């Protein structure tokens, strides 16, 4: 029986290995992590991450050919293939701080693999890493190998949270990069054989190591760039009376452009886009490519601009002050169908409103109060470390309350900000909400999910990203 071990039981390691175990009953898969609480949760009925369809996959294979363990060294020693899916956050200190990837976790995993291995192994980069990381890993492994042979492969993961299981079942492509030597090609074939259990062969792409590593950063940069492009257009739509949804549709029907990933929003979030673009910018800078670095920097600048623009719109619409006013925040996760809040735009929007002394009542169906308080008190990039390594909040933000119902959040509020596109927010009884709010009652829709006409009929003053402005808002002072 082929044995796989995956180091890192996070958002990528957990679901990816659960699907490999489901699709390859003849392979034994162990997912290991240094976090005792995370592994305990994987072994319980309350998995550590919320992801549609994940519970069922785990339940079907756990204890059969899928195991979660903290005995990292034992499982690594026994494995033929070791995936490394540890976090690769942005460096917070020292050389490259605020841009470069922090490879501390990766390096310590590589050193441990070298220490405990007693047989040849294929080591697979599953984490998103800077180009040429495989070379550094090879050096660590070969200098400590005691004669054992390691082949390094790059097999970046393209799943998106909220649709991870679907994405893993039917990936657009699986990418495997390896050395162009006979041993490198043999290793590629071994990994290809694993995926071939369920992925059609023409969807398994093979490249050299550096192309695979760079393709992952490039794919995320391209995706984020589309969102910043449509968000930049949303500002122009508001200024001119065009409707961003109509513009997106008209642009996206061009088959060369395509309709996906053109939804204007309050800004993109998530653990990957900003981190990976910063990483790309750092690599460009290190290679003397300042113009290329500046091009990608703009994608992040527009994203920050979009979040600021939203906050300014809320404040200026409400007579230029939200001081002491209750504002309901509907949705805190960075997108629907996940409880993940890493780099969610809600953090910047809430901090902006708190800066203007608003009182916030926050509701998200999947995010806990503790997580929200942590996020609102944490320094930039600290979030980027595993949850169990994040600092505890020194004290709760007093102007913030977290409630477990959208109606409760909206009660007595002056305005509602929709920051995550949860389906349940489309189906709320907005008439009921209107009746229990202060007047004039505002809705600021950062996800374009509300029925603007219907809300206006009820009596709300509505702002929806990139949509023609409410006459009320047109008369308000211009914003940044
Ligand atoms: P995560 O923080 O959820 O999980 C990483 C896990 O690795 C943590 O549980 C941590 O305890 C563990 N870990 C760290 N060092 C370890 C060590 N030495 N030994 C054992 N365990 C260790 O991170 P994630 O979201 O799963 O992301 C992992 C990687 O995958 C990152 O490089 C990320 O950029 C990339 N990625 C993430 C996504 C996503 O949607 N989250 C998608 C594609 C790629
Ligand atoms: C992303 C990539 O899509 C995935 O391939 C990669 O493996 C990890 O990073 P993820 O961050 O989980 O996945 O979610 P994604 O669906 O890409 O959304 C990222 C952010 O962009 C979210 O905040 C989402 O709300 C926002 N978004 C997405 C938009 O604002 N508009 C869109 O049209 C699409």
What's the ipTM?
A: 0.98
pLDDT of residue 393: 53
> 411 with 428: CB under 8 angstroms?
no
pLDDT in tens, 404-418: 999 999 999 999 999
Is it the case that residue 381 has pLDDT exceeding 80?
A: no
pLDDT in tens, 114-135: 999 999 999 999 999 998 899 9
What value does the mean pLDDT take over residues 95-107?
90
Instruction: Report the alpha-carbon distance of residue 51 to residue 64 in Å, rounded.
Output: 21
**pLDDT bucket at 225, cuts 50 / 70 / 90:** very high
Give domain limits for the chain: 2-199, 221-474
* CATH tag, 221-474: 3.40.50.720
Query: Which of the ligands is closest to the CA of residue 263?
Result: 2
pLDDT in tens, 243-271: 999 999 999 999 999 999 999 999 999 99
Residue 272 Cβ inside 6 Å of ligand 1? The answer reads yes
Cβ neighbours of 477 (radius 10 Å): 9
pLDDT of residue 238: 96
Q: What is the pTM (predicted TM-score) of this model?
A: 0.95
85 in a labelled binding site: no
pLDDT in tens, 153-165: 999 999 999 999 9
In the chain, % of residues over pLDDT 70: 95
> 87 with 127: CB under 8 angstroms?
yes
Is it the case that residue 99 has pLDDT exceeding 60?
A: yes
- How far, in Å, is the centroid of ligand 2 from the Cα of 406? 24
Lowest mean pLDDT among 135-139, 390-394, 395-399: 390-394
Pocket perturbation via mutation, ligand 1, pick of 79, 85, 344 by most ligand atoms within 8 A of CB: 85
What contacts 150, CB < 8 A, 6 or more positions away?
Answer: 113, 114, 117, 120, 121, 122, 123, 138, 141, 142
What value does the mean pLDDT take over residues 222-227?
98
Residue of 272, 284, 350, 417 marked catalytic:
272
Pocket perturbation via mutation, ligand 1, pick of 7, 10, 381, 383 by most ligand atoms within 8 A of CB: 10
- How far, in Å, is the centroid of ligand 2 from the Cα of 148? 40
pLDDT of residue 480: 46
Is 272 considered catalytic here?
yes
pLDDT of residue 384: 59
> 72 with 83: CB under 8 angstroms?
no
Query: Which of the ligands is closest to the CA of residue 275?
Result: 1
Q: Which CATH code of 3.90.1150.60, 3.10.20.340, 3.40.50.720, 3.40.50.300 fits the domain covering 2-199?
A: 3.40.50.720
**pLDDT bucket at 473, cuts 50 / 70 / 90:** confident
Is it the case that residue 479 has pLDDT exceeding 60?
A: no
**pLDDT bucket at 398, cuts 50 / 70 / 90:** confident
pLDDT in tens, 277-298: 999 999 999 999 999 999 999 9
Pocket perturbation via mutation, ligand 1, pick of 73, 76, 86 by most ligand atoms within 8 A of CB: 86
Could you tell me which of 43, 147, 69, 152 has the C-alpha nearest to residue 106? 152
- Residues forming beta bridges with residue 174, ordered by sequence position: 204
In the chain, % of residues over pLDDT 90: 88
**pLDDT bucket at 477, cuts 50 / 70 / 90:** low
pLDDT of residue 351: 96
Is it the case that residue 383 has pLDDT exceeding 70?
A: no
Mean pLDDT of the chain: 94
Answer whether 2-199 and 221-474 agree in fold: yes
What value does the mean pLDDT take over residues 195-223?
97
Residue 390 Cβ inside 6 Å of ligand 1? The answer reads no
Is it the case that residue 169 has pLDDT exceeding 90?
A: yes
**pLDDT bucket at 337, cuts 50 / 70 / 90:** very high
Return the ligand 2 atom nearest residue 265 CA. 30
| Residues lining ligand 2, Cβ inside 6 A | 157-161, 220, 223, 227, 261-263, 265, 268-270, 272-273, 334-335
């Amino acid at each position: 029986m082929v044995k796989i071990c995956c180091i890192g039981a996070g958002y990528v390691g957990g679901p990816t290995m659960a699907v490999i175990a489901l699709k390859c009953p003849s392979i034994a898969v162990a997912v290991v992590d240094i976090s005792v609480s995370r592994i305990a949760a994987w072994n319980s009925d309350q998995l550590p991450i919320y992801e549609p369809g994940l519970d069922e996959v785990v339940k079907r294979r756990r204890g059969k050919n899928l195991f979660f363990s903290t005995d990292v060294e034992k499982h690594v020693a026994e494995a033929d293939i070791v995936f490394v899916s540890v976090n690769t956050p942005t460096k917070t200190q020292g050389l490259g701080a605020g841009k470069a990837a922090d490879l501390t976790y990766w390096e310590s995993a590589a050193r441990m693999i070298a220490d405990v291995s007693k047989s040849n192994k294929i080591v697979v980069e599953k984490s998103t890493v800077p180009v040429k990381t495989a070379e550094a890993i090879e050096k660590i492994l070969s200098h400590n190998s005691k004669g054992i042979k390691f082949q390094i492969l790059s097999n970046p993961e393209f799943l998106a949270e909220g649709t991870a299981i679907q994405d893993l079942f039917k990936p657009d492509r699986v990418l495997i990069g390896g050395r162009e030597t006979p041993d490198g090609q043999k290793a590629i074939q071994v990994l290809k054989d694993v995926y071939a259990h369920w992925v059609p062969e023409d969807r398994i792409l093979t490249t050299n190591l550096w192309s695979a590593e760079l393709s992952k950063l490039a794919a995320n940069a391209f995706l984020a760039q589309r969102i910043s492009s449509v968000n930049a257009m949303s500002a122009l739509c508001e200024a001119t009376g065009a409707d961003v949804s109509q513009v997106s549709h008209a642009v996206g029907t061009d088959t060369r452009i395509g309709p996906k990933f053109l939804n204007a929003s309050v800004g993109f979030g998530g653990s990957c886009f900003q981190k990976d673009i910063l990483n790309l910018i750092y690599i460009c800078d290190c290679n003397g490519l300042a113009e290329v670095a500046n091009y990608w920097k703009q994608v992040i600048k527009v994203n920050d601009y979009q979040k600021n623009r939203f906050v300014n719109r809320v404040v200026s619409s409400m007579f230029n002050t939200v001081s002491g006013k209750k504002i309901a925040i509907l949705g805190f996760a960075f997108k629907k169908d996940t409880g993940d809040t890493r780099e969610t735009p809600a953090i910047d929007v809430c901090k902006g409103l708190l800066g203007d002394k608003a009182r916030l009542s926050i509701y998200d169906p999947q995010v806990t109060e503790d997580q929200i308080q942590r996020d609102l008190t944490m320094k930039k990039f600290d979030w980027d470390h595993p949850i169990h390594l994040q600092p505890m909040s020194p004290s709760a933000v007093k102007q913030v309350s977290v409630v477990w119902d959208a109606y409760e959040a909206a009660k007595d509020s002056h305005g509602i900000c929709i920051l995550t596109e949860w389906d349940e927010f489309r189906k709320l009884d907005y008439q009921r909400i209107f009746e229990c709010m202060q007047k004039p009652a505002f809705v600021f829709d950062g996800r374009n999910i509300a029925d603007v006409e219907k809300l206006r009929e009820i009596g709300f003053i509505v702002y929806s990203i990139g949509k023609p402005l409410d006459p009320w808002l047109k008369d308000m002072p211009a914003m940044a």
